[in-house]
């Protein structure tokens, strides 16, 4: 498993632990009051009140820690949070385990049963609620385990030794159950992580041209439409460059399709280097590329197209025994206020590109502006 994925899974486990235990804030206070009332059977009222008071403070403290964790959205400092949570919840577990000290009267069966019942319940709740995070499950179990096993051992009778043994079996069983649930929840979380990674990979692939790694036609159309709408709203100019490799069929026919692919990749790399990241560069198909340049007027578009053309002209592709020097023809169309449909802008820049082919290739031609074309 990759480190980042592992970290995300551990953070999810911590979040699940917190989600489970946040229910404590509703369950634990009334339970504390009931147990404190029962404690008065063995201790003076002030001691029961003191125990309840301390426990209510412990509940308030760990609830605050949990709520703070909820606000810490990033899986940074995971170890710090595990420590913090272990301390905050550990105090609460220690308080419940201290019931032994308050309520256990050696030789008194009712008191023994009370102490054991409290801790059997505590251990099963811990296993159910703490298992999403294995380290916290382990640390949560320590205090109640000692408290479940210690009182019968303190008695020193055979009956109590049997009870202690039963307690140890019970804890071992619960621990196994807890670890099994932990393992299956970890598997689920790993699968969930892998799923979301695959979905984002798939989304990326859907936008990308497999051969060149540039954006594909579909992505270009969607992005370019949005850009045009945005520029029409702010009345800003947009330029579209249509770029086509010259005599590409000849390269394919002479050196083969795979060699042609190498030329396509080499030319694409030049585009990637030359085009600004704010521009939308895509391979529309075959040997045709498009660059949509936001907030770009005619002069800047012509300069960019010329730079692109010259950079491609410098490319040398060693194929078989030969060296191929590809060139491109570029057509430019400008929507001065962004107010033009994408299909009209593409058609105009396409015509300009074909015009460049007609003028001998390896050159840049600007499409007449839309109004001039309508008049003609
Ligand atoms: N190697 C390779 N060739 C492709 C790919 N897609 C399209 N082609 C080829 O690109 C060639 C395009 O040829 P044409 O449209 O005649 O254009 P051209 O030879 O570049 O001629 P001009 O555009 O007029 O300069 C065809 O032979 C297609 O088979 C591809 O992904 N890889």
Q: What secondary structure, in 3-state letters, does the chain show?
A: CCHHHHHHHHHHHHHHHHHHHHCHHHHHHHHHHHHHHHHCCCCCHHHHHHHHHHHHHHHHHHHHHHHHHHHCCCCCCHHHHHHHHHHHHHHHHHHHHCHHHHHCCCCCHHHHHHHHHHHHHHHHHHHHHHCCCHHHHHHHHHHHHHHHHHHHHHHCCHHHHHHHHHHHHHHHHHHHHHHHHHHHHHHHHHHHHHHHHHHHHHHHHHHECCCCCCECHHHHHHHHHHHHHHHHHHCCCEEEEEEEECCHHHHHHHHCHHHHHHHHHHHHHHHHHHCCCCCEEEEEECCEEEEEEECCCHHHHHHHHHHHHHHHHCCCEEECCEEECCCEEEEEEEECCCCCCHHHHHHHHHHHHHHHHHCCCCCEEECCCHHHHHHC
Tell me the β-bridge partners of 329.
244
Tell me the C-alpha distance between 47 and 225, whole Å: 74
Ligand 1 center to 345 CA (angstroms): 23
Rounded alpha-carbon distances, angstroms, from residue 284 to 59, 118, 357: 62, 71, 18
Is 370's pLDDT higher than 80? Answer: no
Would you state the pLDDT for residue 57? 97
Q: Using the atom order of ligand 1, give the atom closest to the CA of residue 244.
A: 23
Ligand 1 center to 272 CA (angstroms): 20
Could you report the per-residue pLDDT of 24-40, keeping only the tens digit for each?
889 899 999 999 999 99
Residue located nearest, by CA, to atom 11 of ligand 1: 249
Q: Using the atom order of ligand 1, give the atom closest to the CA of residue 248.
A: 20
Ligand 1 center to 245 CA (angstroms): 8
Would you state the pLDDT for residue 1? 57
Q: Please, are residues 296 and 239 in contact by the beta-carbon 8 Å criterion?
A: yes
Q: Please, are residues 20 and 28 in contact by the beta-carbon 8 Å criterion?
A: no
Could you report the per-residue pLDDT of 147-198, keeping only the tens digit for each?
999 888 887 788 888 988 999 999 999 999 999 999 999 999 999 989 998 9
Ligand 1 center to 326 CA (angstroms): 12
Kindly state if the Cβ of 265 falls inside 6 Å of ligand 1. no
Would you state the pLDDT for residue 75? 63
Q: pTM for this structure?
A: 0.69
Q: What is the mean pLDDT of residues 44-63?
A: 96
Burial category of 198 from C-beta neighbours within 10 Å (exposed 0-12, middle 13-18, buried 19 and up)? exposed
Tell me the C-alpha distance between 81 and 167, whole Å: 31
For all residues of the chain together, what is the average pLDDT?
92
Q: Using the atom order of ligand 1, give the atom closest to the CA of residue 211.
A: 31
Report which of 11, 13, 2, 3 is spatially closest to residue 185, judged by C-alpha positions.
13
Ligand 1 center to 249 CA (angstroms): 4
Is 108's pLDDT higher than 90? Answer: no
Would you state the pLDDT for residue 240? 97
Q: Using the atom order of ligand 1, give the atom closest to the CA of residue 252.
A: 1
Report which of 55, 68, 82, 83 is spatially closest to residue 22, judged by C-alpha positions.
68
Fold classification of 217-375 (topology level): Alpha-Beta Plaits (3.30.70)
Please work out, in degrees rounded to the nearest 5, the angle formed at the alpha carbon of residue 198 by the alpha carbons of 197 and 203: 100
Sheet holding 288-294, edge to edge: 280-285, 288-294, 238-245, 328-335, 364-366
Would you state the pLDDT for residue 25? 86
pLDDT band of 372, cuts 50, 70, 90: low
Residue located nearest, by CA, to atom 14 of ligand 1: 249
Q: What is the mean pLDDT of residues 27-55?
A: 95
Beta strands 288-294 and 280-285, pairing class = antiparallel
Would you state the pLDDT for residue 373? 45
Q: What is the mean pLDDT of residues 239-260?
A: 95
Would you state the pLDDT for residue 376? 31
Which of 249, 285, 317 has the most ligand 1 atoms within 8 A of CB, as the residue to mutate? Answer: 249
**Greater pLDDT, 90 or 1:** 90
Kindly state if the Cβ of 201 falls inside 6 Å of ligand 1. no
Choosing from 55, 287, 306, 321, the catalytic residue is 287
Kindly state if the Cβ of 247 falls inside 6 Å of ligand 1. yes
Q: What is the mean pLDDT of residues 294-309?
A: 95
Which of 217, 251, 252 has the most ligand 1 atoms within 8 A of CB, as the residue to mutate? Answer: 252
Q: What is the mean pLDDT of residues 281-309?
A: 96
Tell me the C-alpha distance between 217 and 342, whole Å: 13
Is 48's pLDDT higher than 80? Answer: yes
Ligand 1 center to 287 CA (angstroms): 5
**Greater pLDDT, 367 or 9:** 367
Clarify whether 287 is annotated catalytic.
yes
Report which of 128, 50, 46, 145 is spatially closest to residue 93, judged by C-alpha positions.
145
Ligand 1 center to 314 CA (angstroms): 20
Kindly state if the Cβ of 246 falls inside 6 Å of ligand 1. yes
Residue located nearest, by CA, to atom 6 of ligand 1: 286
Neighbours of 41 (CB within 10 A): 13
- Asked casually if ipTM beats, i.e. exceeds, 0.90, the reply is yes
Would you state the pLDDT for residue 375? 37
- Comparing 27-41, 100-114, 287-301, the range with the smallest average pLDDT is 100-114
Which of 287, 288, 317, 360 has the most ligand 1 atoms within 8 A of CB, as the residue to mutate? Answer: 287
Kindly state if the Cβ of 210 falls inside 6 Å of ligand 1. no
Is 374's pLDDT higher than 80? Answer: no
Tell me the β-bridge partners of 318.
323
Domain extents for the chain?
Answer: 3-202, 217-375
Kindly state if the Cβ of 359 falls inside 6 Å of ligand 1. no
Q: Using the atom order of ligand 1, give the atom closest to the CA of residue 245.
A: 20
Residue located nearest, by CA, to atom 8 of ligand 1: 286
Q: What is the mean pLDDT of residues 94-102?
A: 93
Neighbours of 63 (CB within 10 A): 18
Could you report the per-residue pLDDT of 203-236, keeping only the tens digit for each?
999 999 999 999 999 999 999 999 999 888 889 9
């Amino acid at each position: 498993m990759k480190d980042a994925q592992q970290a995300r899974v551990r953070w999810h486990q911590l979040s699940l632990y917190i989600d489970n235990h946040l229910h404590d804030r509703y369950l634990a206070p009334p339970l504390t009051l009931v147990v404190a009332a029962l404690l008065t059977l063995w201790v003076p009222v002030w001691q029961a009140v003191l125990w309840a008071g301390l426990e209510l403070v412990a509940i308030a403290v760990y609830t605050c820690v949990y709520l703070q964790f909820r606000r810490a959205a990033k899986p940074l400092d995971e170890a710090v949070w595990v420590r913090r949570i272990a301390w905050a919840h550990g105090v609460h577990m220690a308080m419940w385990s201290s019931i032994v000290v308050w309520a256990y009267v050696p030789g008194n069966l009712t008191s023994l049963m009370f102490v054991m019942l409290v801790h059997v319940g505590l251990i099963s709740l811990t296993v159910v609620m703490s298992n999403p995070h294995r380290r916290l499950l382990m640390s949560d179990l320590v205090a109640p385990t000692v408290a479940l096993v210690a009182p019968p051992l303190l008695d020193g009778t055979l009956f109590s030794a049997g009870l202690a043994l039963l307690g140890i079996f019970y804890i071992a069983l619960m621990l196994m159950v807890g670890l099994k649930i932990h393992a299956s929840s970890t598997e689920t979380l790993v699968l969930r992580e892998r799923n979301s990674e695959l979905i984002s990979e798939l989304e990326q692939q859907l936008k990308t041209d497999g051969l060149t790694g540039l954006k594909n036609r579909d992505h270009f159309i969607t992005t370019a439409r949005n850009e045009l709408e945005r520029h029409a709203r702010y009345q800003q100019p947009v330029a579209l460059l249509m770029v086509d490799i010259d005599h590409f069929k000849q390269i394919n026919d002479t050196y083969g399709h795979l060699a042609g692919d190498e030329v396509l990749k080499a030319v694409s790399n030049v585009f990637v280097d030359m085009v600004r990241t704010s521009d939308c560069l895509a391979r529309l198909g075959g040997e045709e590329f498009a660059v949509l340049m936001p907030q770009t007027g005619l002069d800047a578009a012509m300069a960019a197209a010329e730079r692109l053309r010259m950079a491609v002209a410098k490319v040398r592709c060693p194929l078989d025994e030969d060296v191929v020097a590809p060139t491109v023809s570029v057509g430019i169309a400008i929507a001065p206020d962004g107010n033009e449909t994408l299909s009209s802008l593409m058609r105009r820049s396409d015509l300009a590109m074909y015009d460049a082919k007609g003028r001998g290739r390896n050159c840049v031609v600007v499409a007449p502006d839309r109004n001039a074309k309508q008049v003609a």
